[in-house]
Chain A
Amino acid sequence: MRSLSILGLLLISLNSHAAPLSPPAQRGEAFFHQRFAVNDKMPACTACHTDNPLKPGQHAITGKTIQPLAVSANGERFSDPAKVEKWFGRNCKEVVGRACTADEKADFVAYMREVR
């Protein structure tokens, strides 16, 4: 009986959608939702990528679909370092209003890798 309830708890935790994020991933999550308000049409990452990185986004200007940022929803994400640097470079400049720091980028990637 006791082993059964442990098994049940184990199954619940395996199936849990609220898997705890590591501290870097938590900072990345906060950064992802932060409102920089530098750009009217794209005040935050979420302007195009939506509040949920597991879901496809929509370009704020062109309306085109953007594939999910979360690795669990899109295995291609963060697999090409040159591409990752290129898009951090473009989007940080335009949305954050400056280049992102190495820590910010690491936290962001940690969040996108862990979120599921």
Chain B
Amino acid sequence: MQKILVWDWPVRVGHWLMAGAFCLAWLTADSESYRLVHVFAGAVVLGVASFRLPWGFIGTRYARFVEFVRGPLSVRDYLAGLLRLDPAHHVGHNPAGGWAIVLLLGLGIVTALAGWATYNEIGGHLLEELHEGLATTMLLVVIVHLAGVFSGSLLHGENLVRAMFTGKKQGHADEAIASARPLALVALLLWLAAAGWLVAS
């Protein structure tokens, strides 16, 4: 076992942009002064999540949904291992983490769309309530995700937060991804710039 490249650039930068934008959106949620910051943060969440969906099919090995979306039995087994303080190690995402990703991407997209519609006065009070309910649900999933990251990090003796910065995790040399795909990162940033421009106009 050695340190190998697992997370490509779009996964890592997309993750932190989405995390940062979600925090920003949450903190500015009740403010009219920061209303435009809130809308911009929502656009970043929507931009990153909508880029991540196709990237889950054409991205690098551990970015693909087929690699980490597992059935409920796998999730149960992983969580049971976590409770025994001996969770199975996965080079990519563990089964619980995989579902956190699916939920957060899905919630990110629908929350942002509901918010966007509310901002443009489509859908009325009901959609406004839906936007808030979805955002709260998303916060709950974020908290569970963080609990999983910290418990997983401690039990595996592997800093998963740092791995999401460096892209490197424990594994065998032949399990590494070949490239961090910098050009795809450029595509992500261009996509976000387009989304930002769309919001501003």
**A90 and B30 within 8 A (CB):** yes
**B125 and A61 within 8 A (CB):** no
**A91 and B125 within 8 A (CB):** no
**A80 and B125 within 8 A (CB):** yes
Q: Is B35 an interface residue (CB 8 A)?
A: yes
Min CB distance B52 to A, Å, is 28
**Which chain A residue has the least Cβ–Cβ distance from B39?**
A62
Min CB distance B153 to A, Å, is 37
Min CB distance B186 to A, Å, is 31
Q: Is A25 an interface residue (CB 8 A)?
A: no
B125 contact set on A, CB distance < 8 A:
80, 83
**B30 and A42 within 8 A (CB):** no
Contact of A59 among B30, B31, B32 (CB under 8 A): B32
B36 contact set on A, CB distance < 8 A:
61-62
> How many residues on A have C-beta within 8 angstroms of the other chain's C-beta atoms?
16
B31 contact set on A, CB distance < 8 A:
90, 94
B35 contact set on A, CB distance < 8 A:
59, 61-62
Decide yes or no: A39 and B30 within 8 Å by CB, A80-B125, A83-B125 being known contacts.
no
Q: Is A41 an interface residue (CB 8 A)?
A: yes
**Which chain B residue has the least Cβ–Cβ distance from A76?**
B125
Q: Is A98 an interface residue (CB 8 A)?
A: no
Min CB distance B200 to A, Å, is 12
**Which chain B residue has the least Cβ–Cβ distance from A47?**
B32
What are 17 A-B pairs at a CB distance below 8 A?
A39-B33, A41-B33, A42-B32, A42-B33, A48-B32, A61-B32, A61-B33, A61-B36, A62-B35, A64-B119, A64-B121, A83-B125, A89-B30, A90-B32, A93-B30, A94-B30, A94-B31
Q: Beyond the given A60-B32, A93-B30, A94-B32, could you list 16 further A-B residue pairs with CB under 8 A, ordered by the A residue number?
A: A41-B33, A42-B33, A48-B32, A61-B32, A61-B33, A61-B35, A61-B36, A62-B35, A62-B39, A64-B119, A64-B121, A80-B125, A89-B30, A90-B30, A90-B32, A94-B33
